[in-house]
Each structure stands twice: as C-alpha cells, then as structure tokens.
Amino acid sequence: MAQIEEPVDSEAAPSARAYPSERYAWWVMFVLTLALLVSFIDRQIVALVVEPLKADLGINDTQVGWLYGGFAIFYAAAGLPLAVLADKKSRRWIITIGILAWSAMTVACGLSRNFFQLMLARIGVGVGEATLGPSTHSLVGDYFPPSKIPRAMSVFQLGAVIGTGLAFLVGGLVVEAVKNSPPVDAGVFGVLKPWQLTFIYVGVPGALVALLMQTVREPERRSKQSSSSFRTQDFGELFAFYRSNWKTVLAHHGGFTSIALVGWAFVFWTPTYFTRIHGVSAGQASQIFGLIYVFAGTLGVLWAPWMAEMLAKRGWKDSNIVGGLLGSALVLPVILFIELSPWLWLAWVLYVPAVFFINSPFGLANGALPVIAPPHMRAQIAAVYALIGAVFGMGIGPPLGGAISDYIFTGPEGVRYSIMLMTCIFGPLGVGLLWWGRKHYAESLARAEAEYH
C-alpha cells in the first residue's frame, strides 16, 4: 500500500484549516475501534480460564487477579512515554507496531509453563496495548471538530465493550470446545493444555487488524505549535494544565477511576461468580454474559453521549460529566442486588441493566478530556488519565477482589461479598467526586473554548 508521510504543521490557525472528510474520519474510527475490540479480547481472556489456571499452576485468587493487575500497571506505565511519542511521530505506525506486539504476547501467554512466564507475557500484552489509547486521542482531535469529539470517543469505546463481550462469548465457546480435548503436542513448545490453546486462538487474529491499520492516513496536526516545538517541549505545560484545572481533573480522574475499579472487579470475576455461586460452568456463563455484554453494553455506551448531547443543547456545560454520573449512580444498587440474588434467573436478568449502566460512563470519560485540553497535549493528558485509571481501576480492582475473597470472605461465596464490599466503598466515592466536579468541569470547558477552539 502507498506510504503516507507525516505532514508538517502549517502556519495557518487550526480553526482555519478544513478537517478531513467526515466519511473517511468515521472509517478511521471504525479501524481504531476494531483495534480496541481485539485488544480487549486479548486482555480479558484470562478471566475465562481462572479455574484451570489455578489447578494447573497452583495459584490462588489473588495471583489470578494480579495477572490482570500486572498487565494494567505496565499498560499504564508505558502510556505516558508512548503518548509523548504520539505527539511527535506517526500515530498510525505506533498503533500498528503495538497491535503486532500485544498479539504476539497473547500467543506467548499460551506457551507459558508457570506463573512467572505467564505474568511476563501479560506484562508484554499491557505494554503493546498502551500504544492505542494515547495515539487515538491525538488522532481524533485532528479528524473531528471539538463538538463531535465526545461522540467519536464514545464510538471508540464501543470497541472496548464489544471486545469484552466477544472475549467472554467467543472465549466461552473456545473454552467449551477445548475443555474436554486432549492436550496438543506442539513440538518444541511442548504439550499445550486447553487453557493454553485458548490464548493462542485469540491472539493470532491481531495480525489482520495490523494490516488494516495501513489504510489509516496520518492527518495534519491541528496544534498551533510547529513541529520543531514538539521536539523541544517538556512536561512543564502538562503540569501547568493540571495546576490550573486541578479541581476538574481531580473530580474527573478520581470519580471515573473509582467507578472503573468497581466495574473491572465486577466484570473480571463474573464467570467465577456464576461458577461458584450458581454452579454454572465457566464456558456457559461466559457465553451468556458475553451476549448480554455485547448488546446491553453497546446501548449503554451510546446512551451516555446521547444524553450528554441533549443536555449540552440545553446549555449544560457540565453535560459530559453529568452523562457519566447518571450511569455511575444507577449501576451501584443493581450490582448489590445481583450479588444478593438467591436465584440464577434473577441474576441474569439484573445483569442487563448492570452491564448497560457500568459501560455508560467511560466513553464520556475519555471524550470529556480532548475538548478541555490544548490540542498539542491531548495524547499526554489522555495518557495521564489512562495511567491513573489503569493502576487504580484495572490494576487494583481484580486483584483486590481476589485478595478480599482469599483473606477476608473465605470459601466459595467469598467472591460475592468481595464485590459487594468494593461496590459499597468505591461506588459512592466515585459518584460523590463526579457530582462535586460538575461546576469545575464547566469552567475548564469555557476556558478551553476561549483559547483553543
């Protein structure tokens, strides 16, 4: 395919330059969303093989949780330097290399022989996936005008939702298909058990998405700064942005991350919950949960920006926060009812609104940042949020849930009370921070509209 060189910023003001065609911009969003979908399949698949992992490697719930937590911490740590790179170099190639890397490391998970090897491979998945978020935030600001960025980022978030759903749905099918199969002799890689084959089967398709990324053109950067200033900028401006908007980012980062911590633990331990509490096999539970997640989660992600746009048309400058706040508040009682349910059928019914509401805040959480950020720092600000969200949301949620189950509420029902405790602590904290931050976000948006748009 033809190679497109990265353009040099022109001297024209950003507002005076035309955006790329809307049709092509949405094609780019489709490709980026597909990449995110694949990344979430690769990151979530570990939740489906908890029991065979524990039996084969001799590990406990806490260690299983750290297979997700370790991924998340290194995903976060790699995000900021990759964001600096995304603000200077070709974002298309950064993402392409990242896709190939995380796909290869997912396959490596399937070739692992012990907990240490598996953890290293999961860390590799995290570093590879860290290329996608910051580069996408930077690209979206160059493809869409500010008014359409929240919707574009919410569509991008669909990749996470559908990818998570497909991880459970397809992964559940794979688990059911291979669970009774005999081990496979893979030559120099030794004998592979069913849980190992699951990782390999879901890791290979990423190479096709990497090829599709080559249809994405590197757009002209819309920053007022010249390309030479990109090479010399330091973190001073980033710190200045956070100092001048500290109430906004405290409420945004802290509020959405607290809700994410509950959400990540709730989703990660779902197959285990149905296996231990209701006696459903992990494969069957994953398939049903995956179907619910694909449909209810997708509707939740689309509902939140629609709500925010309606509020914005009525003059609500805090609409991006309010839209996320509604879903965050509504999901908390539903999760508690699920965990307390004595009936399997009721738990499944309640999972529909739970999945709808738990997914609704996070497209807006991402979309709320580019519209208040200086154009040349969008990727870095996205990376800071990803760092905080990954460490305290993805990184802490699943292992904390496992630790509470291992050391506080022991026994098969511990997973139920673990999620309830986390929901009661971190849920109100997140909702409270978002409510407090509404006014401050509106002030930050007004300043950004005056300076950058």
* Between 325 and 380, the higher pLDDT residue: 325
Q: What is the mean pLDDT of residues 425-429?
A: 96
With helix as H, strand as E and coil as C, how does 372-434 read?
CCCHHHHHHHHHHHHHHHHHHHHCCHHHHHHHHHHHCCCCCCHHHHHHHHHHHHHHHHHHHHH
pLDDT over 90 (residue 22) = no
Read off the tokens for 119. 């953890």
pLDDT over 50 (residue 418) = yes
pLDDT over 90 (residue 124) = yes
Q: What is the mean pLDDT of the chain?
A: 84
* 196-214 confidence digits (pLDDT tens): 888 988 898 899 999 999 9
Cα–Cα dist 167/40, whole Å: 7
| Residue 34 C-beta-side C-alpha neighbours within 13 Å | 17
Q: What is the mean pLDDT of residues 259-281?
A: 91
| Number of CB atoms found within 10 A of residue 232's CB | 7
Q: Per mean pLDDT, which range of 141-155, 212-226, 339-353 is the poorest?
A: 212-226
Q: How confident is the model at residue 228 (pLDDT cuts 50, 70, 90)?
A: very low
Q: How confident is the model at residue 94 (pLDDT cuts 50, 70, 90)?
A: very high
Integer CA distances (angstroms), 295 to 41, 73, 170, in order: 16, 29, 15
Cα–Cα dist 389/369, whole Å: 14
* Between 129 and 157, the higher pLDDT residue: 129
The pLDDT score that the predictor gives to residue 178 is 65
For the chain, what is the total number of helices (H) and then of strands (E)? 20, 2
**All domains in the chain, ordered by first residue:** 20-217+236-451 (1.20.1250.20)
The pLDDT score that the predictor gives to residue 453 is 56
Q: Per mean pLDDT, which range of 143-152, 238-247, 273-282, 402-411 is the poorest?
A: 143-152
The pLDDT score that the predictor gives to residue 5 is 39
pLDDT over 60 (residue 229) = no
The pLDDT score that the predictor gives to residue 143 is 86
pLDDT over 50 (residue 434) = yes
Cα–Cα dist 35/213, whole Å: 8
| Residue 356 C-beta-side C-alpha neighbours within 13 Å | 12
The pLDDT score that the predictor gives to residue 4 is 38
DSSP secondary structure string for all residues of 209-276: HHHHGGG---PPP--SS-HHHHHH--THHHHHHHHHTHHHHHHHHHHHHHHHHHHHHHHHTHHHHHHH
Residue 18, Cβ density class (10 Å: 0-12 exposed, 13-18 middle, ≥19 buried): exposed
Cα–Cα dist 327/322, whole Å: 9
pLDDT over 50 (residue 230) = no
Cα–Cα dist 193/399, whole Å: 25
Cα–Cα dist 286/198, whole Å: 13
Residues 304, 361 contacting (CB under 8 angstroms) = yes
Read off the tokens for 348. 């499944």
Query: End-to-end distance of the chain based on CA atoms, in angstroms?
Result: 35
Q: How confident is the model at residue 253 (pLDDT cuts 50, 70, 90)?
A: very high
The pLDDT score that the predictor gives to residue 341 is 93
Closest CA to 350 of 364, 337, 366: 337
- Predicted TM-score (pTM) of this structure: 0.74
Closest CA to 17 of 145, 137, 147, 135: 145
The pLDDT score that the predictor gives to residue 82 is 86
| Residue 86 C-beta-side C-alpha neighbours within 13 Å | 34
Cα–Cα dist 283/269, whole Å: 13
* 310-360 confidence digits (pLDDT tens): 888 888 888 888 888 999 999 999 999 999 999 999 999 999 999 999 988
The pLDDT score that the predictor gives to residue 390 is 81
Residues of the chain with pLDDT > 70, as a percent, come to 92
The pLDDT score that the predictor gives to residue 226 is 37
